[in-house]
Chain A
Amino acid sequence: MLMGLFNHWVVIALMMIGLYIVIAHGNLIKKIVGLTLFQTSVFIFYISMAKVNGGTAPILADDIIVYSNPLPHVLILTAIVVGIATTALALSLVVRIKETYGSIEEENIQHQDNQAFEQSNSQNGSNAPKGSKQEKQA
């Protein structure tokens, strides 16, 4: 009985793998790979919902009665192409981050940011010691 829900569980497994990669890995490229995995799991979710037992591809022919649902196909078809366009945008951001920071590891970037922040604080320290203290606590 529960085998009927198997497709959903596969989708959830893939989705959680993607989510785990996004959270646990510091490398920005790996994060994007994780997002792509997450994205594909949603595609698979939609497409598997559209399937009807005994149906065929939704292209009208004379001697066929049962078709799979065409609507999710349309939605996912456009979503895939939009997905690659937005992924490209994310990748170009990664390239720029690499050029600016010299690294695509989250830890290194955070470290550099903290250092820059402390430097600017020590420069402005004499002018506004109160503000900088509050910011540090935050």
Chain B
Amino acid sequence: MKDLFAVVMLLGIYGLLSASFFVAMDAVDVAFTEAAVGAGISTLLMLVVISMTGRREITTRHKPMSALLVVAITGFLLIYGTLDMPYFGSADAPIHGHVAPRYINDSMQEIGVPNIVTSVLASYRAFDTFGEVVVIFTAGIGVLALLSVVRRPEDPEEIAAINDSMHEQHLVIRIVAKILIPFILLFALYVQFHGDFGPGGGFQAGVIFAAAIILYTMLFGLSTARTVINQSFIRLIAAIGVLLYGSVGLATLLSGGNFFDYNVLVNDPIAGQHLGIMLIELGVGCTVAAVMIIIFFSFAARAEMQLNNKKQRQDKDKDKDNKNKEPSSC
């Protein structure tokens, strides 16, 4: 397929399909994340990039036979490797030995949180999750470093003009979105704070929250969204999320426990676990939401800058043409 737009749309559908597959495989938390990321944010980011880089792919001259050969051999070797693997759904597979029974049998007494995925994510493997959050934060900084644009302050009249022009084009979508966005934000908060008991948690909530803001940005323009969400404020939030996560770990160290051992936070170990998990999920949610918004804003601002540059160049060309024409007409 040479049309990249179609490719990206298919990728979005694929993301939604794999999310429903995860539901069928009992991985509800994962399905949540994949639905918001695979079908939502990644598709949007790809679309923004395509709007900058062009949507046609040029046909290549070289023959793909060697690539096909490499892929076929690798695939054959991998299939040969699966012949020893445990069968699908068998309860005595090696993966279900080791630590998994402890999580399932003892996590209620040790952590006191019904959702095992949350208790493993935020308590047993908190150090690992801390690393992941730092990776996300670093990726956000990387995108900022690569794409950040110094913007001139826009005058409000211009924004109003853009808004008016869009009002006529997307009236229905805008009104529906205006009704929906508060509920999406509310749902994100529910997912954030209900993650202990049902599917949910900081990662999912952050992504859903960011998706709502991105929807708003797409429909009402970047400038309007920037007046709602301050750029430096959102960067601060991203950093505060990581700091909150790390400081919970430090607090447990200073109270005499191990790193991320929440039992020592409060007198009652279970209450300590609850407090620690809530704070950590909050930190994760802040960082993920802020980084996703930062990434989208950087891409959108870059696209806008390229558009403006093109316009200015065209205006200059027009001026030149007019100047060239004038003497000849005289």
Min distance, Cβ A9 to any Cβ of chain B, angstroms: 6
B27-A5 in contact (CB<8A) = no
* CB nearest neighbor in B for A9: B79
The listed residue (A43, A53, A60, A86) touching B34 by CB distance below 8 A is A43
B114-A60 in contact (CB<8A) = yes
B38-A80 in contact (CB<8A) = yes
Is B252 interfacial (CB 8 A cutoff)? no
Chain A contacts of B143 at CB under 8 A?
88-89, 92
Binds B, one of A64-72, A114-122, A126-134: A64-72
Chain A contacts of B135 at CB under 8 A?
82, 85-86
* CB nearest neighbor in A for B143: A92
B42-A52 in contact (CB<8A) = no
A16-B74 in contact (CB<8A) = yes
How many A-B residue contacts, CB cutoff 8 Å?
253
Chain B contacts of A40 at CB under 8 A?
14-15, 18, 38
> What sequence of 0s and 1s flags, for each residue 78-93 of chain A, a beta carbon within 8 Å of any chain B beta carbon?
1111111111110111
A33 in contact with B11 given A8-B82, A68-B27 (CB within 8 Å):
yes
Chain A contacts of B206 at CB under 8 A?
81
Q: Which residues of A in the span 13-68 have a Cβ within 8 Å of any Cβ on B? A: 13, 15-16, 19-20, 23-27, 29-30, 32-33, 36-37, 40, 43-44, 47-53, 55-61, 66-68
Assembled-state Cα–Cα distance A68/B34 (Å): 18
The listed residue (A23, A82, A89) touching B132 by CB distance below 8 A is A82
Min distance, Cβ A56 to any Cβ of chain B, angstroms: 6
B100-A69 in contact (CB<8A) = yes
Min distance, Cβ A43 to any Cβ of chain B, angstroms: 7
* CB nearest neighbor in B for A56: B26
Min distance, Cβ B149 to any Cβ of chain A, angstroms: 11
Chain A contacts of B198 at CB under 8 A?
59
The listed residue (A20, A74, A107, A108) touching B67 by CB distance below 8 A is A20
Assembled-state Cα–Cα distance A74/B199 (Å): 12
Is B179 interfacial (CB 8 A cutoff)? no
Chain A contacts of B61 at CB under 8 A?
107
A13-B147 in contact (CB<8A) = no
B147-A5 in contact (CB<8A) = no
Chain B contacts of A15 at CB under 8 A?
75, 78
A96-B147 in contact (CB<8A) = yes
B27-A47 in contact (CB<8A) = yes
Assembled-state Cα–Cα distance A86/B21 (Å): 24
* CB nearest neighbor in A for B207: A81
Assembled-state Cα–Cα distance A48/B89 (Å): 8
Q: Which residues of B in the span 17-76 have a Cβ within 8 Å of any Cβ on A? A: 18, 21-22, 25-30, 33-34, 37-38, 41-42, 45-46, 49-50, 52-54, 57-58, 60-61, 64, 67-68, 70-72, 74-75
Is B214 interfacial (CB 8 A cutoff)? no
A4 in contact with B4 given A51-B26, A95-B299 (CB within 8 Å):
no
Min distance, Cβ B100 to any Cβ of chain A, angstroms: 5
Chain B contacts of A96 at CB under 8 A?
146-147
A33 in contact with B18 given A5-B82, A68-B25 (CB within 8 Å):
no
Assembled-state Cα–Cα distance A108/B72 (Å): 28
Chain A contacts of B79 at CB under 8 A?
8-9, 12
Chain A contacts of B107 at CB under 8 A?
60
Min distance, Cβ A65 to any Cβ of chain B, angstroms: 10
Is B95 interfacial (CB 8 A cutoff)? yes
Chain A contacts of B132 at CB under 8 A?
78-79, 81-82
Q: List 14 A-B contacts (CB under 8 A).
A: A15-B78, A23-B70, A29-B7, A40-B38, A56-B26, A59-B115, A59-B197, A80-B33, A81-B203, A81-B206, A82-B132, A84-B45, A85-B136, A95-B147
Q: Sort A-B residue pairs by CB-CB distance and give the 4 closest, nearest first.
A: A4-B87, A85-B139, A53-B89, A68-B26
